[in-house]
Amino acid sequence: MKYCLILTLCYFSLVSKAQIGGNSTYEFLRLPNSARITALGGSLITVRDADLNLAYHNPAALNSSMHRSLVFNQSVHMGTTHGYVAYAHNIDQLKKPFMVHAGLQYISYGEFQNRDVTGTYTGKTSAAEYAINTGIGYQVSKFLSVGANAKTILSYLGNYNSTGIAFDASAMFSDTSRNINLTVAFKNMGSQFSTYNRNGNMEPIPFDLQIGVAHKLKYIPLRFSVIMHNLHQWGIVYDDPNNQDNQALFINDGAQQDGSALKTVDDIFRHFIFNIELLFGKKGKKEILRLAAGYNHMRRGELTSSTLNDLAGFSFGIGIRIKQFQIDYGFGGYHFAGSAHHFGISVNLDEVLKGSPKKSHQNKKKPKNKTAE
C-alpha cells in the first residue's frame, strides 16, 4: 500500500493538468451500475465475491461463484431512469475454465418539447443511451485473475444519433490468507463509430485509469476499500470562473479557503473514493446482511453548495439476502436538489432450482373403489 501511494504521487507530478468535465461523450458509462456500487461511492473494483454487478467495472472480478447469476438494477435520479441487467456463465469444457457475462446498461432522459427559433411547439422527442456489455474473466493463478469487457454503445438524443465501442481491461491480485485485494483497471478505452453530426469531429469517450486496494479485517466483519480514479491526469477540478474557492474537504462550512497547499491537497483527494462494508452472517460464501457507506471527494467538491449543508459526495446502503434472492438499496448524495436512489435484485438460477421442491416420481397406487354388489 505504501509503495503504491508513492508511485501514484510520482505519477501525478509527471502528467499535465486538465479537467474531465464536459470533455467526453457517453458520460453515462461512468455511472454506477448497481445499488451496491452506488452505496459505496460510485466505484468498487477491489472486491471479488458472488456479486455479478462487480464485473461491469472490473471484469477480473468474474469467478465461478457467479455461475448462472442473474441481476436487475434500477435507479431514479433527477427525472432520469438508469438500469442494468446481466447474466454470467462458467465455461468449463476446456482445460482451464473461464467465466463469461453479458449485460445491458441503459439510461432514459425522458421526453422533451421541440420548438423552433420562434418558440413554436413542433412536437416531442426523447433521449436514451445504451451499452451492450460482454466480458470474460480468467483465473491465471491462485493469486492473479484478469478480465476484459467490450461495450457496444448506442446513443439517441432526439434527432441526433451516435454509436461507439469501449473496452475495459483489469488485473486483480487477491491474497485470501491476508484478506487483501489489489486491482488495476483500464476503463472505457475506445472511440465513436459515428458522431451526432455527420460533419463533426470524433469526440473522446470517458477513459479512466483506476487503482484500488481493499482489506478485510480478521476479527471484525469489516472491509474497507480505497480507490484512486482518473490517474491518467492530475487536475480534475472543474474550472468554474464564478467560484474560485471550490475546495471542499469532507465538510463544506462555507468558509473562505485559501492557499496553494490546501488546493494541492484538495486536488489529490479528488482522485480518491473511500468506502466500507459491514458484513454480517454467512450462508456458504455469501453474507446475509451488508451495510455500506462511501465518500467520493470529487463529487462533493463539484456539487456541494457553499451556503447549504447537504450530502453531496456521501453515500450509504444496505443489502439483505432472503433465501435465494439478494436485495440491495443504495443512496447516492449528489446535490440538495436531488439524490440517486438505486434498487437491485439478484438471484442464482442454480440455487433456485436446488431449493425448489422435487417432484416425486413414485406414483402412489390409488385404492380401487369397491363396487356395491
Q: How far is CA 45 from CA 170, 189, 195, 276, 369, in A?
A: 9, 17, 31, 13, 68
Contact present, 68 and 360 (Cβ < 8 Å): no
Query: Which range is least confidently modeled, 138-142, 206-210, 257-261, 347-351?
Result: 257-261
What is the rounded average pLDDT of the residues 238-250? 54
pLDDT above 90 (res 115):
no
| pLDDT greater at residue 129 or residue 363 | 129
Say which residue, 304 or 211, is predicted with more confidence: 211
> Which cell is 360 given?
416425486
Of 164, 162, 216, 209, the residue nearest 190 (C-alpha): 164
Task: Enumerate residues 6+ apart whose C-beta is below 8 A from 66.
Answer: 50, 51, 52, 55, 88, 90, 99, 101
Decide which of 11 and 235 is more confident: 235
Is the model more confident about 198 or about 328? 328
Mean pLDDT of the chain: 84
Q: Whole-angstrom Cα distance, residue 218 to residue 220?
A: 6
pLDDT per position as a tens digit, 136-184: 999 999 999 999 999 999 999 988 899 999 999 999 999 989 999 999 9
pLDDT at 278: 96
* pLDDT score for 368: 52
Backbone phi, psi, residue 150, to 5°: -130, 130
Q: Which tens digits make up the pLDDT trace of 303-332?
A: 887 777 788 899 999 999 998 899 999 999
- Burial-class residue 352 by CB neighbours within 10 Å (0-12, 13-18, 19+): middle
> Are 227 and 294 a contacting pair, CB within 8 Å?
no
pTM > 0.75: yes or no:
yes
Q: Is 25 helix (H, G, I), strand (E, B) or coil?
A: coil
Residue 364: pLDDT band (50, 70, 90) is: very low
The pLDDT tens digits for 53-82 are 999 999 999 999 999 999 999 998 777 899
When pLDDT is averaged across residues 95-108 and rounded to a whole number, the result is: 92
* Residue 361 pLDDT exceeds 50: no
Kindly tell me if the per-residue pLDDT of 13 is higher than 70: no
Q: Which of 3-7, 82-86, 142-146, 334-338 has the lowest mean pLDDT?
A: 3-7
CA distance to 84, 204, 252, 277, 354, per residue, from 270 (Å) = 27, 22, 14, 21, 46
